[in-house]
Amino acid sequence: MSDIDLFTPLKLGPYALPNRLVMAPLTRNRATDKNVPQAMNAIYYAQRASAGLIITEATQISPQGVGYPLTPGIHNDEQVVGWQKITAAVHKKGGRIFNQLWHVGRISHPSLQVDNALPVAPSAIKPAGDAVTYSGLQPFVEPRALEIEELAGIVDDYRAAAINALQAGFDGVEVHAANGYLIDQFLRDGSNQRSDEYGGSYENRTRFLLEVLDAITEVWVSDRVGVRLSPLNPFNDMCDSNPEALFSYVVKQLNPRKLAYLHVVEGAIQADVDPDTAFDMTVLRAQFEGLYIANGGYNKQRANDALKAHKADLISFGELYLANPDLVARFQQDAPLNSADPTTYYGGDEVGYTDYPFL
């Protein structure tokens, strides 16, 4: 045990973080209908700038990567300008902010795609559930399996998005390889049944993630690049036959790349859902040679216990940050916490977004 807690400063890459609270990425569906960040988004993030690190909501790397209405992208000039206003607002408050880069893969719908194209995926496997569209929930469709010749182009889209994130003034980027989206679809065998060099073995299923990371670290120094994984999360109809072995392999491949951090969703992101399988996440923590961010329903006590026991270096908070822009101060003072209103999580205006009270 140690005397480290949430308020112990930490060096993350080139940055001296004042505390170990991370604002987790939270999709809020409050961009414009052109997927451009807007003024209220800058207010929202600046309100939370006392976090040691902010990780933005998932941000599309390309039009093909879009999976939900009113979510921001970072693949054109108008979007970059929108993000510049957000990073400037956060930096003015002394905060640090990373952009989470996202391609949803099969978790889309033709109505969200250019020319009503089919969503793409490692394999043509239709996920259970419904897509969120501008006309309401619609059943997922069977995606189109990506041709091997197309993958380099998607890697290039990640590279271009990383360049845009640099121009937008971010302090770093996080690769979204979790929660059933495209990279996670390649990693887990429930969604990847390819027979080429991107399917089958752990090496092959990890190949796409590593190609994306290698492209991004041509743009960013690796200690300003993080990656998010969710080994057990069944969200978006995901599963794997041996998640502990798979993700142990993945983590070992990350080590030589000297990333800023590994960010792990340690269970299911839906509180009322249990993963089909389980393993002790301290396995991944022990195998990763860099900073480890733990995510998964933490409160102040659980977070401090994990830090003291060296089970994590930082803790990311989602719902608590949604409702408590001054979460650092509230934790420091053991003050009461605001309760989040689920009816305003997704879409809408400033209500339930920028109007949660400060102490």
Residues catalogued as catalytic: 181
Contact 326, 50 (CB under 8 A): yes
Per the CB < 8 A criterion, the answer to whether 234 and 275 are in contact is yes
Which segments of 188-345 does DSSP mark as H helices, in order?
A: 202-216, 243-254, 282-287, 300-308, 319-323, 327-332
DSSP string over 132-185: EETTEEEEPPPPEEPPGGGHHHHHHHHHHHHHHHHHTT-SEEEEE--TTSHHHH
- The alpha carbon of residue 1 and the mean position of all alpha carbons in its chain are separated, in whole angstroms, by 30
Amino acid at 30: R
Helix (H, G, I), strand (E, B) or coil at 227: strand
Report how far residue 317's alpha carbon sits from residue 315's, in angstroms, rounded to the nearest whole number: 7
**Rounded-to-integer distance, Cα 113 and Cα 108, Å:** 8
Which two structure tokens, joined as six digits, stand for 283?
């396995």
Strand, helix or coil for residue 46? helix
> Could you tell me which of 313, 330, 334, 312 has the C-alpha nearest to residue 321?
330
On whether the CB atoms of residues 154 and 103 are closer than 8 A, the answer is yes
Q: Which two tokens stand for residue 219?
A: 């743009």
